[in-house]
Amino acid sequence: MANIDQLYQLYLESTGICTDTRKLQKGNLFFALKGPHFNGNLFAEKAIEEGAIAVVLDESAYYQEDKSFILVRDALTSLQELASYHRDQLKIPIIGITGSNGKTTTKELMQVALSAKYKTFATLGNLNNHIGVPLSLLSIDSSYEMAIIEMGANHVGEIASYCEIARPTHGLITNIGKAHIGEFGGFENIVLAKSELFDFLKKNNGIPFINTEDAVLKNMLKRFDNAVTYPNEDDFYAAKPLPGSIFLEMETNFHDKISTQLVGQYNFVNVAAALCVAHFFEVPKKAAEKAVSDFQPKDMRSQLIKNDKYNIILDAYNANPDSMELAIKSLSSAENTESVVILGDMMELGESTQLEHEKIGEIAVDLGISKRFYIGKMIQAAKKTDTFGQFFENKADLIAYLKEHPLKPGSTILIKGSRKNALEELLPHLS
């Protein structure tokens, strides 16, 4: 069995870590991970043939008497231990980030703001789980001056385990809401799980950045004497959409107006978080503001797509009751346009599934959304609160309907639902 020093030496000699032979590059160190539907041990020999410097595997049936084959008790545990060992070598601030909504957008805003002064690493995409966190850490080389590690969770104890690997020096919880409430087993458990990041910082003299617009997070202030808060009245006192626009504009106490390319007033706290963190690390004010102004959202997160007919807000990466309500509210504030929602099912709500989908119909009606389309089985519950909405079991039925009843040119359309809905597939039919 290999020890951690041997593994770390191989890591230093490698061109990076790989867990999928389809993405393997010459010189990678391959970890044969296992899951419910895959077994990396089956591909150990193939990884070597395709140029891996070595493979780390945990099933002796696939082991070969060769220095390129490293047998361990558990490949995932070894990957996590290697990441933890590497973390010990890094002498830079590491900011942990979690939250129910907005953590990826906030992470990316923080990265661009901090990058105005420092070479800043941030978790790629959604590599924020038990595999993604160690892979992210192992992507940080000695050239980086700062790092942001995103942490996702759907059960208690998960973020605590990531903190033991990443050992953040600073931390930020965007907010605490109802995301994955069915998996957590209740809102109280969501609070417990998300606050594990702050628990770690408290025990290790780390510094939390606390969103005081979130009542649950604001209540955690009393646990710290070194907390940094946002948004503060002396820093950010106004947030409003541009006249006739759905983009966020905000104003500072210096009367600077910051125009962003982010859709929705709900993004205010995300921008405020990024500027707060940048200010704490002494990034020049103007440079940080320009960075967030220039930031363009992507990956189906509040992404604005304009074509000859419509303005489309593609927010189809994920959805939960809180983010759904905020997105609909933002759409309702758009001026001089017909508002349209295309809403899909919200997953992992457990016993709250029926009630939360009913509420979404009520919200859309109360906010005066002109046309309301619902796709999926769960969201059929919104019929109870939206008797004049259009309901479809699948995307094909909605597409057929829109061919016969095209939307008014110039409409602003919000497309939002959980990832499983794949609502981005509607885009070719909205042009």
> Which region among 183-187, 343-347, 370-374 has the lowest average model confidence (pLDDT)?
183-187
Closest CA to 120 of 80, 99, 149, 97: 149
281-290 average pLDDT score: 94
248/111 same-domain check: yes
Q: Is the Cβ–Cβ distance between 260 and 250 less than 8 Å?
A: yes
Owner of token pair 């504009």 = 249
Domain check: are 307 and 288 in the same one?
no
Same domain, 308 and 387: yes
Position 299 confidence tier, pLDDT thresholds 50, 70, 90: confident
User: pLDDT category, 191, cuts 50, 70, 90?
Assistant: confident
Does the pLDDT value for residue 184 go beyond 60?
A: no
CATH of the domain at 109: 3.40.1190.10
Residue pair 39/50 in contact (Cβ under 8 Å)? The answer is no
Instruction: Check residue 407 and give its pLDDT.
Output: 94
pLDDT at 108: 96
Structural Rg of the chain based on CA atoms? 23
Binding residues for ATP: 99-105
Which residue, 284, 287, 289, is CA-closest to 272? Answer: 289
Which pair of structure tokens corresponds to residue 115? 């990058």
Residue 275 falls within a domain, yes or no?
A: yes
Last residue of a domain, one of 251, 266, 294: 294
Cis peptide before 231 (omega within 30 of 0): yes
Predicted confidence band at 320 (pLDDT cuts at 50, 70, 90)?
confident
Question: What does the mean pLDDT of the chain come to?
Answer: 90
Annotated binding site: 99-105
Closest CA to 389 of 411, 415, 360: 360
Q: Give the burial class of 73: count Cβ atoms within 10 A of its Cβ; 0-12 exposed, 13-18 middle, 19 or more buried.
A: exposed
DSSP 8-state code for residue 300? T
- Please tell me the predicted confidence (pLDDT) of residue 236: 65
d(CA 327, CA 341): 10
In a shared domain, residues 283 and 165? yes
Which is more confidently placed, 303 or 356?
Answer: 356
Is residue 400, in this structure, part of any structural domain at all? yes
Q: Which domain holds residue 59?
A: 4-74
Cα–Cα distance between 308 and 315 in angstroms, integer? 20
Question: Is residue 146 a part of any domain in this protein?
Answer: yes
Closest CA relative to residue 294, chosen from 274, 320, 277, 315: 274
The answer to whether residue 325 is domain-embedded is yes
- What pLDDT, on a 0 to 100 scale, did the predictor assign at position 254? 65
Considering only residues 157 and 401, tell me which one the structure prediction assigns the higher pLDDT: 401
Same domain, 315 and 419: yes
The per-residue pLDDT for range 235-276, each reduced to its tens digit, is 665 666 566 567 888 877 666 788 899 988 888 899 999 999
Statement to judge: residues 273 and 308 lie in one domain: no
pLDDT at 337: 75
Whether residue 258 is contained in a domain is answered as: yes
* The predicted structure's pLDDT at residue 378: 95
Contact 269, 175 (CB under 8 A): yes
Helix, strand, or coil (residue 190): helix
- Do 310 and 286 lie in one domain? The reply is no
Q: Where are the beta strands (DSSP E) in 268-355?
A: 303-306, 311-315, 339-344
For 121-143, how does the pLDDT look when each residue is reduced to its tens digit (9 = 90+)?
Answer: 999 988 999 999 999 999 999 99
Q: Residue 105's closest CA among 242, 292, 376, 238?
A: 292
**Is the CB of residue 371 less than 8 Å from the CB of residue 407?**
yes
**According to the model, what pLDDT value does residue 370 have?**
92
| 29-68 pLDDT tens trace | 999 999 888 999 999 999 999 999 999 999 999 999 999 9
pLDDT in tens, 79-130: 999 999 999 999 999 999 999 888 999 999 999 999 999 999 999 988 999 9
Residue 94 lies in a domain: yes
C-alpha span between 286 and 314 (Å, rounded): 30
Asked whether 114 and 277 are in contact (CB, 8 A), the reply is: yes
80 inside domain: no
* Residue 35: per-residue pLDDT: 87
What is residue 212's three-state secondary structure?
A: coil
CATH code where residue 61 lies: 3.40.1390.10
Question: What CATH number is associated with residue 381?
Answer: 3.90.190.20
Pair 352, 238 in one domain:
no
Q: Give me the pLDDT at residue 47, please.
A: 97
Domain boundary among 275, 294, 313: 294
Bridge partners (DSSP) of residue 227 are none
Average pLDDT over residues 293-298: 90
**Per the structure, how many domains does the chain have?**
3
Is 82 within the bounds of a domain? no
Residues 163 and 56 occupy one common structural domain: no
Residue 145, amino acid: E
Same domain for 169 and 144, yes or no, is: yes
Domain ends where: 74, 108, 125? 74
Q: Which two tokens stand for residue 8?
A: 């770390």
Clarify whether residues 208 and 233 are in a common domain: yes
194 and 262 share a domain? yes
